[in-house]
Amino acid sequence: MKVYARVLMIVVFVLVSSVAFAASSNLRLFNDRNQHIGTIANDGKVFNERNQNLGRIANDGKVFNDRNQNLGRIANDGKVFNDRNQNLGRIANDGKVFNDRNQNLGRIASDGRVFNDRNQHLGTAKNVKQEWAAAFFFFFFR
């Protein structure tokens, strides 16, 4: 359950955190120690820190693994669903992240930093399209 909460928190942080999106270059994501943990290419393909293909994020919010199997989706209203359309959680407009039982998992700061419910820094995703960053943390980050 802790892994689930951490993944949800990180995904939410990215979804709400950044406003800018650099379409001309790959976008890198970092953990709390400023270590590179993954990349999202401008076509939506997702790679881990070793440049191994993990899957892709479609423009409509659907997320697929490297075998093109649907993992879930992120809706326009901030709700996150798995492949069976079960609600995993949501990202509120104020940057707070909640799980499916409405428990606060943390928050996303306006500068792209993500914090857990104890205000500990989890990571950063600046200049990443919000939906793509959220999908990375929700579905690919382990």
Structural domain span for residue 69: 2-140
Number of domains comprising the chain: 1
Beta bridge partners of 6: none
d(C-alpha 109, C-alpha 92), whole Å: 12
d(C-alpha 88, C-alpha 81), whole Å: 5
What CATH number has the domain bearing residue 121? 2.40.160
pLDDT digits (tens, 9 = 90+) for 4-18: 444 444 454 444 333
- Whole-prediction pTM value? 0.68
Strand stretches in 1-142, DSSP E: 27-31, 36-40, 45-48, 53-57, 62-65, 70-74, 79-82, 87-91, 96-99, 104-108, 113-116, 121-124
pLDDT digits (tens, 9 = 90+) for 81-129: 889 999 988 877 777 778 889 988 777 776 777 777 888 887 776 666 5
The first and second tokens of residue 44, run together, are: 């939506």
